[in-house]
Amino acid sequence: MKTSISQAALRAAIASVRAQGPLVHNITNYVVMNNSANALLAIGASPVMAHWVDEMEEMTAIAGALVINIGTLDTQWIEGMLAAGLAASRRGTPIVLDPVGAGATSQRTATAWELIRRCHPTIIRGNGSEIMALVNSDIRSKGVDSSATSHDALEAAKILALETGAVVVISGETDYITNGTRVHTVEGGHPIMTAVTGMGCTSTALVGAFAAVVADPMEAATAAMAVMSLAGERAAALARGNGSMQIHFLDELYRLKEADI
């Protein structure tokens, strides 16, 4: 694993998550709730999966970060996302948006942009196709899978970051993290990670954990992606297939020590 963040900064970020155990409020999709919750627990954060619109104000008040993932949308969930996003924005709580499937349908792209314009996310994390679709409405993705590489999307990510004020993260063989002018990279992980459902959503949840305790969103996002990459590499060395990969990935997140950095 290679990354732009220093070893000292990465170790400090991991130590902060484990020492503070931030509550990360996730409004995420049915497919990945268990994966994301377990990954947050493994790294030392505290997950809560809540999407009922009536409790958004109170839940947001106690959270260190809000993660909004639009993987399984309906009208009530969108209302909850907006309520939580507006409450977090008022409080200055970090917001991480995962525009899952942006570009697959016009409704998804429009929902992602409504959340961006009204809630002002701190960090936006997606795959290459999703990030490109937010910048160019003519881009079409094939559901949640990316047909574009992370490198293909880098210029779009810079544009999106400058337009929205958010740090934009593109996951892929090389992860890119940009605020529109500066670019951080993370190289590593393993191709088998793409055969495990919800790995991208898991990385978004971890970005939320680090954003809750690291003041600089660029550094927080880079640390989270570096942890994903390192745990993925270590898990792939033990896995026999995508089923055991998922189990080993959680174990390696949990077992990650300063000496491993």
Q: Map out the domains of the chain with their CATH numbers.
A: 2-226 (3.40.1190.20)
Q: Which residue has the tokens 């627990």?
A: 41
pLDDT at 78: 96
Q: Which residue has the tokens 């997140």?
A: 253
Q: Using a pLDDT cut of 90, give the percent of the chain over it.
A: 86
Contacts of 34 (CB under 8 A, 6+ apart): none
pLDDT tens, position by position, 237-260: 999 999 999 999 999 999 998 888
pLDDT tens, position by position, 63-105: 999 999 999 999 999 999 999 999 999 999 999 999 999 999 9
Dihedral (Cα; 84, 88, 90, 95), 10-degree rounding: -120
Cα distances (angstroms) measured from residue 179 to each of 55, 88, 154, 159, 165 = 32, 21, 11, 9, 7
Centre a 10 Å sphere on the Cβ of residue 49 and count the other Cβ atoms it contains: 16
Q: E strands within 74-206?
A: 95-98, 123-127, 167-171, 174-178, 183-187
109-113: long-range contacts (C-beta < 8 A, 24 or more apart)?
A: 109/133, 109/134, 109/137, 111/70, 111/73, 111/78, 112/70
DSSP state of 151: T
Mean pLDDT, the chain, rounded, equals 93
pTM, rounded to two decimals:
0.94
pLDDT band at 21 (very low <50, low <70, confident <90, very high): very high
Q: Is the pLDDT of residue 144 over 80?
A: no
